[in-house]
Structure 1
Amino acid sequence: MEIFLIGGGRAARAAHEPFVRACGNGPIVAYALDDDELDIARWETTLKDAGAAEVTVVPVSPTRPPRPADLTDAAGVYVAGGLTPAYRDILVDAGTDWLDAARANDLPYCGFSAGSAIAAEQALVGGWQTLYGNQTLDVCDSDLAEDLDHLTVLPGLGLVPFIVDIHAAQWGTLYRLTHAVLATGREGWAIDENTVLTLSPNTTPTIHGPGAATHVRRTGPSSTTVTVFTA
């Protein structure tokens, strides 16, 4: 199963093109949060601008989570952006039978922003403060906290073993990811907007797009290594 993790952004054609190619120009099913900001045309246009011939946007909510039948005849599955905790509640806690169907059919998965964050085994869903030693630290701007105060890591879809943070350069979330890595001991990737981190079985992760993906690994109780990768 190929995995494509996009860090967000409005000019993300180059980041979407590898996913569309992996789908063989077949039908793509895109899950988008059914809330006041739902913009079906945005996701259709984004994927078609990258070369997709057929896109079906399926609005999802607590009362209408994803279903395996949504993916009948699909060539790929896409999870759009929005409020990350809400996406995780609907796509993970409400049941992952849809993901089992995607895996059984070896469908490429592409996450955009929230869809990238929840792809992890342990999903960083938001927060702007964390307890470090005996001190509460700000790890990003409170406006970028996804309606959460404390840095929050919860079970995700389990598609990748590392933690993912998004809008890295644009929102300054690399520092937040660093504290998530220190707290959990897991590796992490912070992905810039308009940039995709691509993972295929038995291959090295690759980067596409104008930005970077930054790898963070814990080397001690209070230390990490940070490595920047570009296309």
Structure 2
Amino acid sequence: MEIFLVGGGREARVAHEGFVGACGGGRIVAYALDDADLDVGRWESTLKEAGAAEVTVVPVSAARPPSADDLVGAAGVYVAGGLTPAYRDVMVDGGTEWLDAARTAGLVYGGFSAGAAIAAERAVVGGWRTEFQGRTVDVCDSELGEDLEPLTVLPGLGLVPFLVDVHAAQWGTLYRLTHAVLATGIEGWAIDENTVLAIGTNGTPTVQGTGAATHVQPTGPTSTTITVVTPS
């Protein structure tokens, strides 16, 4: 399964051309959280500006979770952005039969912001402070905690084995990801806006778009190595 993880941003074409191109002109099913911020037109235009010919936006919620039937005849499945914990609850806890169907059919996966974060086996869903060496430390601005205070990592979709955080340069979430890596011992990637971490069928990540993705690897209980990767 090809996977395209977008770190957010409003430059639709540069952030989505790779995903749309990998779908080969086929229909894309876009899942968007059915809440007060639902904007079906935004997700249709985002994908069509990048070259998609046919987009079906499916609003999802706890009452109407994603279904394998939604994906019949599709070439790609896209999970939009919004409140990350809410997306995770619907897309993961609501049942992942849709994901099994997508894998079986060889669909391409695209995730934008929340949709990128929850693609991980262990998903960084939010939070702005954590416990570290017996002290409470802030890991990002409280307004960026996704309605959560403690740094929270929960089961995700399992599409990639590493942690993912988004809006990295714009929101300063690289520091949050670093603490998530230290807490879990799992490597991670922090993706800038208008930037894509693309994972091919061989499992190797590459960076596309206008920004960078930062790879954080644990080296000890209080240390990491950080590698900044820009598009080649």
TM class by shorter-chain length?
Answer: over 0.9
Aligned letter for 1:209?
G
Partner residue, 1:167: 167
Structure 1 counterpart SS, 2:19: helix
2: distance between equivalents of 1:134 and 1:163? 24
| Gap runs ≥5 in structure 1 | none
Partner residue, 2:13: 13
Residue 164 of structure 1 and its aligned partner are, at CA, apart by 0.1
Query: In the alignment, is residue 133 of structure 1 matched against residue 169 of structure 2?
Result: no
Dislocated runs of 4+, deviation >2 Å: none
Partner residue, 1:80: 80
Partner residue, 2:66: 66
2: distance between equivalents of 1:129 and 1:204? 31
Residue 12 of structure 1 and its aligned partner are, at CA, apart by 3.2
2: distance between equivalents of 1:40 and 1:168? 25
Aligned letter for 1:213?
A
Matches within 5 A, 1:1-231: 1-202=1-202, 204-231=204-231
1: distance between equivalents of 2:100 and 2:161? 17
**Identity percentage over the alignment?**
74
Structure 2 counterpart SS, 1:52: coil
TM-score, with length taken from structure 2: 0.99
* 1:78-111 Cα shifts (integer Å, max 9, x gaps): 0000000000000000100000000000100000
Tell me the C-alpha RMSD between the 2 structures.
0.6
1: distance between equivalents of 2:170 and 2:38? 22
TM-score, with length taken from structure 1: 0.99
2: distance between equivalents of 1:40 and 1:49? 14
Residue 13 of structure 1 and its aligned partner are, at CA, apart by 1.5
Residue 204 of structure 1 and its aligned partner are, at CA, apart by 2.7
Residue 206 of structure 1 and its aligned partner are, at CA, apart by 1.0
Residue 203 of structure 1 and its aligned partner are, at CA, apart by 5.2
Residue 201 of structure 1 and its aligned partner are, at CA, apart by 1.7
Structure 1 counterpart SS, 2:73: coil
- Do the aligned partners of 1:182 and 1:218 also contact (CA within 8 Å) in 2? yes
| Gap runs ≥5 in structure 2 | none
- Do the aligned partners of 1:13 and 1:194 also contact (CA within 8 Å) in 2? no
- Do the aligned partners of 2:12 and 2:47 also contact (CA within 8 Å) in 1? no
